[in-house]
Structure 1
Amino acid sequence: CDWIITGLKCSCLCSSNFASVYWPKTLLSFSSFSEFFVDDFSSHAGNTSLWNELSDTVMEGGRSKAILVPHSTDKFQRAVLFTLLDPQSCGAAIAGIKKLVELDLTEYKDIQLRIRGRGQYRGYEFVIRHKNQFGPKLPSYVHFFEAPDDFETIILPISAFEAYLQGKPVENAAPLDKKNVTALGILAYGGVHVHRKQQGVGALEIDWIKIS
């Protein structure tokens, strides 16, 4: 599948071409810095409106839902990714968000997230696309992660991202082009092709997302 890399491969949910949907692109160019924020939701610099929903409802039979919203009080501010996973009989479900970017990550090693998980599941995946490749036969580059119960900084080595297509690893896939990263995403998955099966409502609280 396209961004549905956890494998929505039921009879009516097998692929999607999200390139046909318009989202604004964010230009991030910080090659001279040792690290930079993709979004810092703990400050006024964060912008949830630049992240757009990427869920299985764009396809026939899809019933899942996601939304990223700001959350602030007089003591803190952050973003919360609310997801509803409503799998089909085969277990296929996906709910998440996507941000179009223009990034050269050749000098960077890690993606860091300051997060906390709530709700009925903790399994998520961080997804990278490169070269504006969004076709249904083109892989995504994926790193699965577990959301902690208390706020922690999760580190995802960029070198550990693996190519996936229709929810399965792609053998002999071309490596991620770190010089031409064009989209980032965070997804909750139903788990049709993995051992963990997930459904219901989840909340991922996000302070910030950083490249280092």
Structure 2
Amino acid sequence: MFRSLVFITFISVYLLSLHCSDAAYYIHAIEDDAKEISEHVGKSDSNIREEETLFDFTNENFTEDEVSLWGESSDTVREPGKSKGTFVLQKSKLFQRAIFFALLNPQPNGAGFVGVYTNTTNMEQFSTKTGFKIKCRGQGMMKYWKIVLRYREESGEYSKGSYEAKFELNTENLDFEYISIPFHQFKAYYRGALIIDAPPLEIAQVQTFGFQVYGGVYDMYKQAGAGALELDYVQLY
């Protein structure tokens, strides 16, 4: 069930535009502080599947109940914010996957974001891992996205800052891509600004995992409009 009528038109156009392609897959990663995007060698789906899975959105056990555990966190928490996002499950007779739909309306300087997130537990089991791998596809007007991670303070409240890593998707050829992001590329941020001299990410301390699309207020590029992030799975390597 869609959570907002603002997405009806976009989703209709999006679904009509879906098509398959046999082009090669690629892996892209972006280093947050340098804003430099690097391309990696494509890997087969069987190789990716050998890694430990955090979320498998293609599994029939991932149902609407699991989708309901994902919440929205967008710029409307601030007075000038006017963006909107929703996280849904797409199911057909042939496949299922999750989709993060976003309508990004940033300020003229690029300030603005749309995000979705869910709580995580027992992340200490991944302490020996070195990064995230995602199978996904981007469509629409935005090609720059983030993974956003948060800790929980001793008081029980979630930390005000977050650890983030950006990545770029090719929205022109519509192929699914494999994104590889090492933990060391995650940097600490507060309201989009880099926190200087923050300690490195400790994956065992992570309490929330999320995706975000952003306007680019602190970046060399800007983006806005409607877009979708299709997700098959998130794994750790």
Alpha-carbon deviation of 1:131?
3.5
Distance 1:101 1:71 in 2: 22
Alpha-carbon deviation of 1:135?
4.4
Q: Does 1:205 align with 2:230?
A: yes
The answer for the alignment partner of 1:53 in structure 2 is 72
Q: When you count strand as a share of all residues, which structure comes out higher? A: 1
Alignment of structure 1 residues 115-134 onto 2, 5 Å: 115-132=136-153, 134=158
The answer for the alignment partner of 2:189 in structure 1 is 164
Q: Does 1:85 align with 2:100?
A: no
Alignment of structure 1 residues 6-45 onto 2, 5 Å: 35-45=51-61
Alpha-carbon deviation of 1:62?
1.1
Larger Rg: 2
Q: Does 1:140 align with 2:162?
A: yes
* TM-score (normalised: structure 1): 0.78
Alpha-carbon deviation of 1:206?
0.5
Q: Which has the higher contact order (CA 8 A, sep 6+)?
A: 1
5+ long unaligned stretches in structure 2: 1-31, 33-49
Alpha-carbon deviation of 1:168?
2.3
Distance 1:189 1:122 in 2: 10
Listed one character per residue, the Cα deviations across residues 27-49 of structure 1 (whole Å, up to 9, x for unaligned) are: xxxxxxx8432221111132322
User: Residue 155 of structure 1: which of 180, 195, 199 is its match?
Assistant: 180
**Hey, which bits of structure 1, 4+ residues long, moved more than 6 A?**
none
User: Residue 106 of structure 1: which of 114, 117, 127 is its match?
Assistant: 127
Q: Does 1:187 align with 2:209?
A: no
Distance 1:166 1:55 in 2: 12
- Number of residue pairs matched by the alignment: 178
The answer for the alignment partner of 1:69 in structure 2 is 88
Q: Retained in 1: the 8 A contact 2:151–2:159? A: no
Distance 1:50 1:35 in 2: 24
The answer for the alignment partner of 2:198 in structure 1 is 173
Listed one character per residue, the Cα deviations across residues 134-154 of structure 1 (whole Å, up to 9, x for unaligned) are: 344xx3111100123310211
Q: Retained in 1: the 8 A contact 2:186–2:200? A: no
Structure 1 vs Structure 2 CA RMSD:
1.9
Distance 1:135 1:178 in 2: 14
* TM-score (normalised: structure 2): 0.70
Q: What percent identity do the matched residue pairs reach?
A: 35
Q: Retained in 2: the 8 A contact 1:66–1:95? A: yes
Q: Retained in 2: the 8 A contact 1:39–1:45? A: no
Amino acid at match of 1:39: F
Q: Retained in 2: the 8 A contact 1:51–1:68? A: yes
Amino acid at match of 1:37: T
Alpha-carbon deviation of 1:199?
0.5
Amino acid at match of 2:81: G
5+ long unaligned stretches in structure 1: 1-5, 7-33
